[in-house]
Every structure is written in C-alpha cells, then in structure tokens.
A = this chain, B = another copy of it.
Amino acid sequence: MTLRHGTLEIGCPVPRVDAAAKVTGEEKYAIDHTPENMLWAGVRRAGVPHGRLRTVHVEEARALPGVLCVLTASDVPGTNRQGIVHKDQPVLAVDRVRHCGDPVALVLAEDRETLAKALALVVPDIEPLPSVHSPEEALRPDAPAIHDSGNVLLRAVIEKGDAGGAFGECDAVVEETFEVPFQEHAFLETQNGIAHREADGKLVMTVSTQAPFRDRFEIAHALGLDPFSIRIISPYLGGGFGGKDGATVQCLLALAAMHAGGRPVRMTWEREESFIAGYKRHAVKMHYRVGAKRDGTLHALECDLYYDTGAYAHLGAEVMELGMEHAGGPYRIPNVRVKGWCVYTNNPIAGAMRGFGVCQTAFAVESVMDMLAAKLNLDPLEFRRKNALRRGDENCAGVTMVHSTGIGACLETLSRHPFWLERRDWKRAAPPFKRRGVGLAAVFNAMGYGRGLPDSAIARLELTLDGRIRIYCGVSDMGQGNSAAFVQIAGEILCQDASRLELILPDTDRTHPSGSSSAGRTTYTFGNALVQACNALKEKLFHRAALVLMLDEEKGLALLPGRVRHLPSGREASFELLARMLPEADRASVGQFIMPVAHDVPDTGKEFAIGFPHVFFAYAAHLARVEVDELTGRIEVTEYLAVTDGGKVINPQGFEQQVHGSVAQGLGYALTEQLLLDRGAILNAGFADYILPTALDVPEIISVAAETFEHTGPFGMKGIGEVGTNGPLPAVANAVNDALGRRLTRSPLTASRILRAMEEGPAQPVT
C-alpha cells in the first residue's frame, strides 16, 4: 500500500511486492493449483529401513475402482536414478530398499480417497537386511553395505601447515566431542506439484521447487525423456530451506503424468510423508582439538567430522565439503587438519539445508573458542576479535581473503551494543531460581556454488507495448524475498515504480536458466545479471529516445517513470511510444553473469569433485541472553542480537526478515528440534511432537547490519540467506555455559540435558 508513495530505491525499506497478494491469499503457490478433471498420484513407501525387495503386490490396488494404474520400477522408462550430483537414488525402488521412505510403487487415482485406499492395498514383499543407523556402525568393517560402492560417500581432508606438529607449540589446547541430530526443514507448503502431458508430448509441471531448470534434466535422465520436452513452472514456494533443491515429487509426478492420458495429476506429500521421505539436515558427530599461544593467537586445529547422510547422497558430499571448509570458523589459523567422513546409513536421506553443513561445525568450533578463551583467561569477544579473519589473511581452507570480510566489522559493532556492554549488570539482576548468561558466536557462510560448477544467471527484460517493463526471473523465490529485491533493483536503475514493473516467475519456457535458489547466491548472481540487463535496456531506450527527440547526442537524457526525458529541453518520449517504435525482437535486453571464483586453489581437499573452495562469505556475530530455570532446566532466550555482514543492504526490511527467519530456525535447532529415530523410523513425524518454535517462543531478535561493500555484488551486496542459522546453537550453548558453568556438547539443549548438567560436576562436559 505504501508503494504508491515512492519509487523503488535501493536501501529503502519498501514493502515486498509479493506481500499484499500473500497476506490476502490471492497468491497461488503450487499447492493451490487444482485444475478440473485432476487425478491424484501417490507413493507406497517401504516402511522398513533396509531390505531386499522381492516383489510388490499391486493386483488388489489395481483392481480398486477409480485407480488408473499402479506402477513399479519396471514401469520407469529411463535410468530410474535421480540425484543432483551423485545419481544413486531410484525413482521407484528396484530390488532393494535402503530407508523407510523408499518408494516401491506409484498409484494414480481419480481422487484422494481412492488413492489412499489403493496405497494401503499395495503390499511390498521385503526381506529385511541388517541395518545401520550411525556413521560409527556404518564404518565398521563388518557393516552391511548399503550401496555397492560401500558405505562411504566421501572421505576427504583439508590440510594446511602442520597441525600435528603445531600443537606442541601451543600454550593451551582444548579438545571436545560434539553431536547434533537430524533437523527437519518444516516448510509450510509440503513437497507437491501438478503435471500434465500435452498433445504434442510436452510435459508441463507446476512444482514447488528451488531449481526448475535443473529439474528438467533430473526428470529426463530418470525417465528417458528429452529435457527440452519438459516445462517446469515455479510459483512462489511456501518455504524451501534446501529441502526443495533437487527432486522430491518431480520424477514421480512426471511418471504419473505419462500415464494420465493428458489429464492433470497432482502429487502432494502430506506432513507425515514429508517427514519420512523429505531430505534432512545431516546429523553429525565432531571431534575437535584446537590450540593457541599464550597471547591468544590461534595456532592449530584438528577435527574429525562424521556426517550421517542417510540412505542416498542427495548433496551429502557437498554438504560435508562446506562444513569442512568452514570447520575452523571465521578465524586465522595457520595449522589446520580437517578430516571428514560422509557416510551412508539406513536413516532418512540428509541433504541440503540452510546453513548447509556449516550449522553443525559452527556449534563445535564456537564452543571450543569459548573453552580456549576461558583456559587462557581471555575475554571471549577480544579473543575472537584478535583472531578474526581480515582481508589479506588465509582462511582455514587455505584461500586468501580478497573480498569483503566483515567478521571484524560484525564483532566491532556487537562490542558497542548494550547487550554486551551491560552484560554483567544484566546477569546480576537475575530473578530468584534463574541463572543468566550471555553467549557469543562468530559465524560465516560461503556464497555460491564454489569452483567447478559455474554459478551463473541470465536475466531478461522486455519493454511491453503498454510501456511497462517485464522482468523475466529465472530463479525461484522460496519466501526469502529475492523477487522483491529484483523489482527493487530494476526500479532503482530504471527509475520506475512498482506499477510500471512486472515480474515473471521462473518458467523454463519463458525465463532463462539461472541456477537454483540456494547457497546464498540467488540475489547476488541473478541480481548481477539483472543489473546488466537494466543497463542494456537503459542504453537502448536512450538511443531510441535520442532519435525520436532529434537529439545530436544522448547527454542529458534521464529515465523517469514511464518515459525518457531530455532534461535540458524538457522534451520527453514515453515508453509506449518507444515500445511501438521498436521491433518486437528488439524490445528486450539480456544480462548474464557468472560468479567469480578463487584464483588460489589450495593444494588440499582433492577429494572434492566440485564446489571447493569459495571466495565470498557472509559473516555474523551473534549474542544470546539466556535465563535458565534452576528448577525445571528450561532455557529461555530472552533477547537475541544478530549483527550481519551481507555487504550493502538492498532492502532493510527484507534483510531483517531474512535474519529473523534464520535466527528463529537456528533457535529451534538449538533448543527443541530433532528427529527422534528408532532404527531409521521417525518417532515424531508431525508437528505435535517435532517441536518448532512458535512466534511466542522466539525472543525479540535485534538485527543490525554491518554493511561492508562487496565490489563484485549488485550495489555491493552479498547473500545472507544461510549465515543466520549458524549462530544460535553455539551462542545459546555459550550463554548456558556462562550461566551455569556447564558446557553442553550435544544438541538440542533440552531441559532434561540442562538438569543433568546442573546435577553433574562442572569439570565434565555434558553429552
């Protein structure tokens, strides 16, 4: 509503263009599409964690009136394999099931009720096999092999300097083991989509997906189709967080559409199915050893990381890779050795999730930083400032920091905040039976795909005959607000208000390939392409306006809302006029951009196929104030401060929303969220017992931007979609330690663990 008052300007907290349509319910997510004559597709899942699939009894289901067909692996025409990098996951299980959620048959029915009945009538005949449910078990020599290649998806090392030898030169060393569980994405809109096949064989799908362009190739590969015969349309997502990066319903839905005789088919995973079959944040066990000199200079780091990737790869190797790249925190440590094992188990599939492997190591490294500071009797903030990466330093992965490196700026800003300055008074004012603590975390998160996988986007603009500008956007918006940022960028450069701009959401037939909405790269990469497209269109409009206005040169021309004005004379050419004068093919502009990569590829991490190393990072310094109830063990995070370096901020409101969302998700991860598993089966596959923080549980989160300037970014910005999730767990754990003198090394930090910690001696960390 406020938009009518102002042009779109970079830096202005203009309300998101999608806000009104979303709050009124007008906006249509994939799940809101219910075409007439629609069929329902669904999947029967294995229900056992590991076994030989002898056969699937489908006869009874097929016979049910209203059932169109029941398909099994033999009906899959292509490779029957999906996976973003490692294609190890069958669309429908062939002769083996590797986790409870493995799909064994696909049913196509006239309606939802019939579908449910039919699915219940499908009976897989599975011979159980011994299953493994932790990396330790899976790595035993006698462990059953989950895949033919064995149970290790990736074993890798990052090494620089001489970590082993360097510990001898340290004045203080701390060592600890940390453990974090699986986390659920818990988006509001579960995995779903609709699809139909057109008369000419074209497959048209509207899916809740983070990567519409890649989806075409996933489906084509799995089902033996021509990728260009597939059209993917991606409306706004009701959340994604990484869980909709890669195939969820896509291949199954496409297979169903191929058997629907041209009728539209819907597949929607219910919440329980979303829990069972969806991707998770990896459970990880981490052993850390870190040493410093007497003056607080970090000197050596060693850690061993065990990522439980579940039954299939998804992006497991890449997730661990990023965790390893960030394992040393945003610090300058000359001697580093990080070993990682990414291991298959018969647990649910782990994959991409906001914070992408880094959330886990951030807990460990930021806990040991506090332990080390305490051992050296140093202030934890000063200790971090002293070791914080500066431009020109080498990070723990051996890459020289030549781009904006704002962890110093974040810590400096945090150090001036009353929550830090007044921490002692605040703690002293704890009410009876409460203990108060203040904890810090310094975190970072890479932006983009990294080397070996070009991080590219292509933006297209079109001047319409009615004088508006249409932005063809190739990257999905899963709620993070990138679409609104794109409108703001175009508005800024072209000097147009929202009423003159139109955004076309991703559609493989209309927009251009621009990669996935992920990796903190969406606004950066597509934004850069868009800046180029805007400048190209501006140039074109100026050139044509000069002709129309009979000007000898273009000097003095300016873009104004809906028109080009020659400022010295005051003469104007309307966009409508210019559009009519331009041939249709010339009423457009295209900009393309590939993210720069590191020029110094370290002599380490050779096991990484793609995506290592990174050169761009967002940074954050977080502070949590907690109050622990001595009687119940309950932790209340009373206030939370997040200082974030995302370069120049495009929209302060959008920035704050990203920070609030990621911190809330991180607090869930810190305090309550965990998948409870019993031999691979999820015990809490619903929101009644998988505990998400509600609005009432989330404290006041104060977001402060430490705005560095990233020279390569659009207007100097960097992506901050991920970094905020990495701080809450370590910040809260450090605050709890500050309150109780007890360090929890296993998350989430539940009341029962707190009570146990208070009962035990202070010397022993609580696991």
Contacting pair B599 A556 (CB below 8 A): yes
In the complex, chain A residues 405-426 whose Cβ is within 8 Å of any chain B Cβ: 405-406, 408-409, 412-413, 416
- Assembled-state Cα–Cα distance A6/B388 (Å): 8
Q: Does A462 contact B (CB under 8 A)?
A: no
Q: How many copies of this chain are found per oligomer?
A: 2
Contacting pair B7 A390 (CB below 8 A): yes
Contacting pair B560 A400 (CB below 8 A): yes
Determine which of B7, B400, B406, B567 lies in contact with A11 in the assembled complex, contact meaning CB atoms within 8 Å: B406
Q: Does A708 contact B (CB under 8 A)?
A: yes
User: Contacts A402-B567, A709-B492 given: A6-B413 contact, CB under 8 Å?
Assistant: no
Contacting pair A7 B408 (CB below 8 A): yes
Q: How far is the CB of A614 from chain B (nearest CB, A)?
A: 14
Q: Does A386 contact B (CB under 8 A)?
A: yes
Q: Does A165 contact B (CB under 8 A)?
A: no
- Assembled-state Cα–Cα distance A555/B388 (Å): 28
In the complex, chain A residues 372-413 whose Cβ is within 8 Å of any chain B Cβ: 385-386, 388, 390-392, 400, 402, 404-406, 408-409, 412-413
B interface footprint on A484-497 (CB within 8 Å = 1, 0 otherwise)? 00000000100101
Interfacial chain B residues near A13, Cβ < 8 Å: 409, 412-413, 416, 706
B interface footprint on A596-619 (CB within 8 Å = 1, 0 otherwise)? 001111000000000000000000
Determine which of B412, B560, B568, B707 lies in contact with A14 in the assembled complex, contact meaning CB atoms within 8 Å: B412
Q: How far is the CB of A556 from chain B (nearest CB, A)?
A: 4
Q: Does A428 contact B (CB under 8 A)?
A: no
Contacting pair A599 B568 (CB below 8 A): yes
Q: How far is the CB of A384 from chain B (nearest CB, A)?
A: 10
User: Contacts A560-B392, A716-B715 given: A708-B10 contact, CB under 8 Å?
Assistant: yes
User: Contacts A13-B412, A558-B400 given: A567-B598 contact, CB under 8 Å?
Assistant: yes
Contacting pair B6 A408 (CB below 8 A): yes
- Assembled-state Cα–Cα distance A408/B146 (Å): 60
Q: Does A547 contact B (CB under 8 A)?
A: no
Contacting pair B5 A388 (CB below 8 A): yes
Interfacial chain B residues near A416, Cβ < 8 Å: 13
In the complex, chain A residues 563-610 whose Cβ is within 8 Å of any chain B Cβ: 565, 567-568, 570, 598-601
Contacting pair A599 B558 (CB below 8 A): yes
Determine which of B412, B558, B709 lies in contact with A648 in the assembled complex, contact meaning CB atoms within 8 Å: B709
Contacting pair B599 A391 (CB below 8 A): no
Q: Does A101 contact B (CB under 8 A)?
A: no
- Assembled-state Cα–Cα distance A94/B88 (Å): 98
Q: Does A179 contact B (CB under 8 A)?
A: no
* Interface-central residue, A2, A7, A565, A706, by most chain B CB under 10 Å: A7
Q: How far is the CB of A489 from chain B (nearest CB, A)?
A: 10
Q: How far is the CB of A567 from chain B (nearest CB, A)?
A: 4
Contacting pair B9 A567 (CB below 8 A): no
User: Contacts A412-B6, A558-B402 given: A11-B706 contact, CB under 8 Å?
Assistant: yes
Interfacial chain B residues near A561, Cβ < 8 Å: 392
Q: Does A12 contact B (CB under 8 A)?
A: yes
Q: Does A652 contact B (CB under 8 A)?
A: yes
Q: Does A70 contact B (CB under 8 A)?
A: no
User: Contacts A6-B390, A558-B599 given: A409-B706 contact, CB under 8 Å?
Assistant: no
In the complex, chain A residues 116-153 whose Cβ is within 8 Å of any chain B Cβ: none
In the complex, chain A residues 734-762 whose Cβ is within 8 Å of any chain B Cβ: none
- Assembled-state Cα–Cα distance A568/B6 (Å): 47
Closest to A556 in B: B599
- Assembled-state Cα–Cα distance A103/B353 (Å): 77
Q: Does A343 contact B (CB under 8 A)?
A: no
Interfacial chain B residues near A497, Cβ < 8 Å: 390
Q: Does A342 contact B (CB under 8 A)?
A: no
Q: Does A349 contact B (CB under 8 A)?
A: no
Interfacial chain B residues near A352, Cβ < 8 Å: none
Q: Does A358 contact B (CB under 8 A)?
A: no
Contacting pair B495 A402 (CB below 8 A): yes
Q: How far is the CB of A297 from chain B (nearest CB, A)?
A: 12
Closest to A412 in B: B13
Contacting pair B567 A599 (CB below 8 A): yes
Contacting pair A600 B568 (CB below 8 A): yes
User: Contacts A412-B14, A598-B567, A708-B12 given: A7-B406 contact, CB under 8 Å?
Assistant: no
Closest to A717 in B: B709
In the complex, chain A residues 609-661 whose Cβ is within 8 Å of any chain B Cβ: 645, 647-649, 652
* Interface-central residue, A10, A416, A497, A568, by most chain B CB under 10 Å: A10
Determine which of B386, B560, B707 lies in contact with A649 in the assembled complex, contact meaning CB atoms within 8 Å: B707
User: Contacts A392-B495, A598-B567 given: A11-B707 contact, CB under 8 Å?
Assistant: yes
Q: How far is the CB of A478 from chain B (nearest CB, A)?
A: 25
- Assembled-state Cα–Cα distance A732/B754 (Å): 52
A-B contact pairs, 8 of them (CB 8 A): A5-B386, A5-B390, A6-B385, A7-B390, A12-B708, A13-B413, A400-B565, A715-B716
Beyond known contacts A12-B708, A13-B412, A716-B716: 5 more, CB 8 A cutoff: A2-B385, A5-B386, A9-B391, A10-B709, A12-B408
Which residues of A does B touch, CB under 8 Å?
2, 5-7, 9-14, 385-386, 388, 390-392, 400, 402, 404-406, 408-409, 412-413, 416, 492, 495, 497, 555-556, 558, 560-561, 565, 567-568, 570, 598-601, 645, 647-649, 652, 706-709, 715-716
Please give me the 6 A-B residue pairs with the lowest Cβ-Cβ distance, nearest first.
Answer: A6-B408, A12-B409, A567-B599, A567-B600, A392-B560, A11-B707
